[in-house]
Amino acid sequence: MIFRYLQNGLTKDELILILLTFPVVLISLVIHELAHGWVAKKLGDPTAKYMGRLTLNPLSHLDPIGTVSMLLFGIGWAKPVPIDPRYFKKPKKGMALVGLAGPVSNLIIAFTASLLRRVTVAIYAYALPQSAINPTSLRAFTIIYSFFYIFEILNISLAVFNLIPVPPFDGSRVFYFLLPDKYYFGVMRYERYIMMITLVVLFTGLLDVPLAYARGGISYLFDFIIGLVPGL
């Protein structure tokens, strides 16, 4: 995200958007982790609450490296919320629901941002008097529109990234739930190696294209759904 701007050089408006990106990242990562803890608590696990993780305080959730990565590249992570599956009546199902909670929260945020982006366009195109359209209002519109766009794209990226169905990502919990018990323990035995291979594949960029298609598909779906609303 910011890395691309730094490569291409910065304009004044882009610098403003970079400053706006910081709260976007904070909000996105915090809500992602808070969602994990909240669902776990609803399923009977109070661990996150006892560890002080059911809070909107960014200092309780943020991982320094993951936050910087999110700012620079649009892909990042926070400190994992501690979960104790022994509290769940059905541990595998409980872990799957807790795993889904984070990405789902980001998709909800992304959809809301996409809706607000389209509302911004509608207001500027239809509600703002032609006499009020000037370079200042155009700049304000561009910044607001881009802010919601960044909010949408970062949260879609965070959701897609975490839905990768291998450890250490949230998608692995869903994968383990769907995996038959006779294969579950066999896969768990090699979990550390799977994790290492996955991280190598990510850093070499081999998943960039599939992840980009996934992000684009979700964004297109949001635009299609919102486009069904008259005036948007």
What is the set of active-site residues? Answer: 33
Q: Is there a contact between 130 and 154 (Cβ–Cβ < 8 Å)? A: no
Start-to-end CA span in the chain (Å): 27
Q: How many CB atoms lie within 10 A of CB 51?
A: 12
Q: Which residues partner with 20 through β-bridges?
A: none
Residue spans of alpha helices (H) in the chain = 2-8, 12-42, 47-50, 64-73, 91-122, 135-162, 171-178, 181-189, 191-203, 208-227
Q: Is there a contact between 69 and 52 (Cβ–Cβ < 8 Å)? A: no
Which phi and psi angles does 78 have, rounded to 5°?
A: -120, 180
The rounded distance, in Å, linking the Cα atoms of 140 and 137 is: 5
The rounded distance, in Å, linking the Cα atoms of 71 and 68 is: 5
Two tokens at 36?
Answer: 């994990």
